[in-house]
């Protein structure tokens, strides 16, 4: 009896435990469900806001210019030499002298060359007579055709020899091939010379050229938009004289050390008589911006170079804190700033660094306002 009561009590105890367990599990499930309902699921994607510096576009000056140091050179410079050997008898020119076309520059001793012409002339005259005699005999049937052919061939050879002797005699003179300035004399009178040994250097100063080396940012503008600039030059050796320049040649191969490009300009108009080859020229590249819209200056760092070949800037919209790119037309750079000819107005704020991290319409936090 005692055992049966104990068993019944034990059974009731286990039932109570099972019921308590079910209640606990139910409470835990209900609690989790309640928590799941209380925590809303968010599908909103938070865009990243970055901090970038800003700069204000300021109005450009009416006269924007860059100054370069150039070198004055003649249109052409040639070294003249004799084509035959001999002794120089005459050298009547001096360095710095101005010559007209055809003026005598130097003359060799012609004695041997004149004797060669006389010998060739005598041989030619003799062969001419022999040919005429052979032709007359052949016409009368008293001479052979072979003799006539031989005389004709010998006459042709002596004629060539005569022309060669006369040509060599003519080469004993050097005359100015164009109006020129004697830049340098390499030899002296009564000295012996050989073919191709330079005697004088002539400089054609009918047109003078100015050579300058341009940095790459200016070179690109000078080559593609030369019409936007006026190029002038002044010369320390000719005070008060200012010359207009026009582009003649642009070398597209950069100097491997200086990373500059050589440009050749011609002086337009009348030349000042004081100018000489080798003199220094102060070249001014001037960009007139008066009357233009959008002539402003911004830092070089504001120009987005990843959008080549069309440069652009990133403009900050104060109303919503976003940035948008805009294509611009550039002018002359000046130290750490550059001129914008079109696409930007004075007072607009542009990103002046970190533009490679931007996308169109992105929100930014200005570090400088």
Return mean pLDDT, the chain: 82
Report the alpha-carbon distance of residue 360 to residue 369 in Å, rounded: 20
Domain of 115: which CATH number? 2.40.50.100
> Residue 309: its pLDDT value, please?
67
151 and 96, same structural domain? yes
Q: What is the pLDDT of residues 46-79, one digit of tens each?
A: 456 888 899 888 876 655 678 899 999 999 999 9
Residue 122 belongs to a domain: yes
192 and 106, same structural domain? yes
- Domain-terminating residue out of 199, 231, 247: 199
129 and 179, same structural domain? yes
For 38, 297, 325, 340, 349, the CA distances from 59, given in Å and listed in that order, are 58, 6, 20, 10, 13
Domain of 329: which CATH number? 2.40.420.20
Report the alpha-carbon distance of residue 94 to residue 157 in Å, rounded: 42
Q: What is the value of pTM for the model shown?
A: 0.61
Tell me the pLDDT band of 254, cut-offs 50, 70 and 90.
confident
Q: Which of 41-45, 162-166, 244-248, 279-283 is the least confident region?
A: 41-45
Tell me the pLDDT band of 25, cut-offs 50, 70 and 90.
very low
Report the alpha-carbon distance of residue 363 to residue 22 in Å, rounded: 55
Helical (H) or strand (E) element with 232: strand 230-234
145 and 55, same structural domain? no
> Residue 307: its pLDDT value, please?
64
Tally of domains within the chain:
3
Residue 23 belongs to a domain: no
265 and 116, same structural domain? no
174 and 143, same structural domain? yes
Q: What is the pLDDT of residues 314-361, one digit of tens each?
A: 999 989 999 999 988 887 777 788 888 888 888 899 999 888 888 899
Residue 16 belongs to a domain: no
- Domain-terminating residue out of 166, 199, 232: 199
Q: How many CB atoms lie within 10 A of CB 265?
A: 25
Report the alpha-carbon distance of residue 78 to residue 56 in Å, rounded: 55
Q: Which of 24-28, 109-113, 139-143, 343-347 is the least confident region?
A: 24-28
Residues 6+ apart with CB under 8 A from 2: none
Tell me the pairing of strands 173-175 and 104-108.
Answer: antiparallel
312 and 271, same structural domain? no
Tell me the pLDDT band of 308, cut-offs 50, 70 and 90.
low
Q: Find residue 77's DSSP bridge partners.
A: 203
- Domain-terminating residue out of 170, 199, 228: 199
Residue 331 belongs to a domain: yes
User: Crossing angle, helix 145-170 and helix 111-140, to 10 degrees?
Assistant: 160
Report the alpha-carbon distance of residue 350 to residue 329 in Å, rounded: 15
86 and 164, same structural domain? yes
90 and 192, same structural domain? yes
Domain of 268: which CATH number? 2.40.30.170
Residue 31 belongs to a domain: no
Residue 42 belongs to a domain: no
226 and 271, same structural domain? yes
188 and 112, same structural domain? yes
Residue 315 belongs to a domain: yes
The range of the structural domain enclosing residue 213 comes to 65-73+204-288
190 and 83, same structural domain? yes
Residue 335 belongs to a domain: yes
Return the half-sphere exposure (C-beta side, CA atoms, 13 A cut-off) of residue 33.
Answer: 6
> Residue 191: its pLDDT value, please?
96
Return the half-sphere exposure (C-beta side, CA atoms, 13 A cut-off) of residue 244.
Answer: 6
């Amino acid at each position: 009896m005692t055992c049966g009561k104990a068993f019944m009590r034990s059974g009731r105890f286990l039932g109570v435990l099972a019921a308590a367990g079910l209640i606990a599990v139910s409470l835990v499930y209900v609690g989790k469900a309640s928590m799941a309902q209380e925590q809303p699921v968010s599908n909103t994607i938070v865009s990243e806001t970055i901090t970038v510096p800003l700069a204000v576009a300021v109005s450009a000056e009416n006269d924007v210019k860059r100054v370069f140091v150039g070198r004055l050179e003649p249109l052409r410079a040639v070294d003249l030499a004799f084509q035959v050997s001999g002794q120089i008898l005459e050298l009547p020119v001096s360095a710095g002298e101005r010559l007209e076309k055809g003026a005598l520059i130097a003359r060799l001793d012609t004695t041997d060359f004149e004797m060669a012409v006389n010998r060739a002339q005598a041989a030619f005259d003799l062969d001419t007579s022999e040919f005429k005699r052979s032709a007359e005999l052949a016409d009368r049937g008293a001479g052979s055709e072979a003799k006539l052919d031989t005389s004709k061939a010998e006459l042709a050879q002596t004629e060539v020899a005569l022309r060669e002797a006369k040509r060599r005699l003519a080469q004993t003179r050097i005359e100015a091939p164009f109006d020129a300035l004697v830049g340098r004399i390499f030899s002296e009178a009564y000295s012996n010379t050989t073919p191709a040994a330079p005697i004088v250097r002539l400089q054609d100063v009918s047109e003078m050229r100015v050579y300058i080396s341009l940095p790459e940012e200016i070179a690109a503008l000078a080559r593609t938009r030369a019409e936007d600039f006026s190029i002038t030059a002044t010369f320390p050796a000719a005070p008060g004289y200012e010359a207009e320049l026009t582009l003649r040649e642009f070398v597209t191969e950069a100097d491997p050390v200086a990373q500059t490009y050589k440009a050749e300009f011609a002086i337009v108009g009348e030349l000042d008589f004081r100018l000489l080859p080798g003199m220094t020229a102060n070249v001014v590249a001037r960009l007139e911006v008066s009357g233009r819209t959008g002539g402003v200056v911004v830092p070089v760092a504001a120009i987005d170079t990843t959008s080549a070949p069309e440069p652009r800037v990133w403009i900050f919209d104060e109303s919503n804190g976003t940035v948008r790119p805009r294509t611009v037309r550039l002018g002359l750079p000046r130290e750490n700033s550059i001129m914008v000819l079109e696409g930007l107005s004075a007072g607009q704020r542009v990103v002046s660094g970190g533009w490679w991290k931007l996308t169109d319409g992105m929100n930014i936090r200005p570090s400088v306002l």
